[in-house]
Chains A and B, each alone.
Chain A
């Protein structure tokens, strides 16, 4: 596992560098003069020059970029204009909430989506296939924020099956010590089962909504991969050996489809990070997506760019993980 990691490292580093370059450029493209935001527009030339030097803006561009890279690698994204705390601290605080949501959604997507895709492939052209494809198609076409709102309307307002927006009821907020940042886990560790139940009631709807998107994508990809595998010669061999159709489909075909499927799942996790931005807004979920959005509305560029780099890094990380997993799972690639 180490060797492929080392081999991939240079290209990873380059991609990361590119990521930083893009965010650096975006940061510089801001039409508002950052010096003025610090000194105000009544400052004299000397104060302006001093502030400019302080911000490092008088140095040549490549040096500014180099500094930016060094700082980014050490996790320094500057301070948030809003909270006056290091951006990285704010991000560390909100990130677990997003992870919790994305992980729950991916679990739903995999546990439901993979079997659905298999069934659709084995019953190709018949009604289960059509139903599953429609379900997936709807998932591809419906805006996640709208579905979230409709979900709240139906399941919270009208049916009262789930809790409303937010991650936890106010009475339970900050009741359990933060160990992992994931309330479900922290609450269980502290033995506060009421807290866990309440957190779960809040998690269900946003996770289900996001999970539906994950499911739509994963079931579609699984179906395609399974169809491809079922056409292969070794499937005929397996049948010729007298194996039951169940064994042929779930052990042989799915076993092979799993190899690229793992990549699909890892990448879909990344897509969920994107979907969570909108879901978090709808459900007032205090995660990274909401953080970036509210920072944006408050013109807190450091926070926005810091969040962007973090998400981009997670994406790159997921690509890496899926690549390594692929190599592990496919005997031909080892």
Chain B
């Protein structure tokens, strides 16, 4: 059987075949969306650049005070900043910081949100009341403000920035997971699992969470851009990764002083933030259309 026939078969012979088939079909739908493909390319490029880019460009911290504030040229494609550092090198190295931030936040936020949301939705009652209240409290804070407060307390730095963003981002996922759990809680297959003797944690882990996963993934991909922007905002205020780390938001802030005459110092890192955000947004929109077509 050819690969294509294997993946598109309407009567899969094994669970793996069914899963791969579903993934393949989802991929086909995604592929038809040109904007989503653009987003995918951007995100893939980001990962690629973060992986091998730093090896290809120069040093992000090498200063050259004689050659400072040079406009874009064949030597320095994006120009040099106030300390003569190559902006292209800094932007490329900055992709690692961006990717790290996003990945760390995602890795914290999705499991926590899933756990809280599914538990609240499944058990209901007092448990739900307490957890929902907790979720509401954190939802009551605009992300940046709470992040500011946390950083004020703990001090600046990338770890605290990640913690602050994660702390404000998880409630949305808990809400999504809770809504999904409530919708399937009374289903027959859950009742069947209970009758078969499955314990609550097992049901949650094996039945409920996988069903919430696609909503969480959609939410996550749509949120990525927001997380990047919040992190950049914190960086702009000087609260993220500290200098000389080439964090994009901080780079924009540094370029502010020379904005009027050497516009590229602030503009180039800003463009980087924009492009990456846009890529995640496009990809997120595309994934949402694939995984949750009713919400188009």
Contacts and interface: CB of A to CB of B under 8 A. Distances in A.
B144 A140 contact: no
A138 interface: yes
B238 A297 contact: yes
Nearest 4 pairs between A and B by C-beta?
A18-B137, A146-B270, A274-B142, A141-B277
Contact of B140 (A19, A141, A144, A145): A19
Given A18-B134, A19-B137, A146 B144 contact: no
Interface of A: 11, 14-15, 18-19, 21-23, 26-27, 29-31, 137-138, 140-146, 149-150, 152-153, 157, 224, 227, 270-271, 273-274, 277-278, 281-282, 292-293, 295-297, 299, 301, 304-305, 307-308, 311-312, 315-316, 319
Contacts of B149: 23, 26, 304-305, 308
Contacts of B79: none
A146 B141 contact: no
A301 B140 contact: no
23 contacts: A15-B133, A18-B134, A22-B138, A26-B152, A30-B154, A137-B281, A137-B282, A140-B277, A143-B252, A149-B256, A149-B266, A149-B270, A153-B260, A227-B296, A274-B144, A305-B149, A307-B145, A308-B141, A312-B142, A312-B145, A315-B141, A315-B142, A319-B140
B153 A140 contact: no
A292 B148 contact: yes
Q: Which of B145, B282, B295: most chain A Cβ within 10 A?
A: B145
Given A15-B133, A153-B259, A143 B148 contact: no
B142 A273 contact: yes
Chain B interface main SS type: helix
Nearest to B141: A312
A15 B130 CA distance: 11
Contacts of A227: 296
B112 interface: no
A125 B278 CA distance: 20
B292 interface: no
B237 A293 contact: yes
Interface stretch (B59-67, B181-189, B192-200, B225-233): B225-233
A142 B274 contact: yes
Given A15-B140, A152-B259, A274-B142, 13 more contacts: A11-B136, A19-B137, A22-B146, A30-B153, A137-B278, A141-B225, A142-B273, A143-B277, A149-B266, A153-B259, A270-B142, A277-B148, A278-B237
A293 B138 CA distance: 20
Most buried by B among A11, A18, A21, A297: A18
* Chain B interface residue bracket vs A: 35 or more
B215 interface: no
B267 A18 contact: no
A273 B233 CA distance: 14
B274 to A, nearest CB: 5
A55 B110 CA distance: 40
B150 interface: yes
A143 B152 contact: no
Contacts of A26: 149-150, 152-153
A299 B155 CA distance: 9
A72 to B, nearest CB: 14
A146 B153 contact: no
B153 A29 contact: yes
A143 B150 contact: no
B154 A142 contact: no
A266 B248 CA distance: 32
Nearest to A20: B137
B132 to A, nearest CB: 9
Given A141-B225, A301-B152, A315 B140 contact: yes
Interface string B264-296: 001100100110011001100100000000011
Contacts of B256: 149, 282
A143 B140 contact: no
B263 interface: yes
B117 interface: no
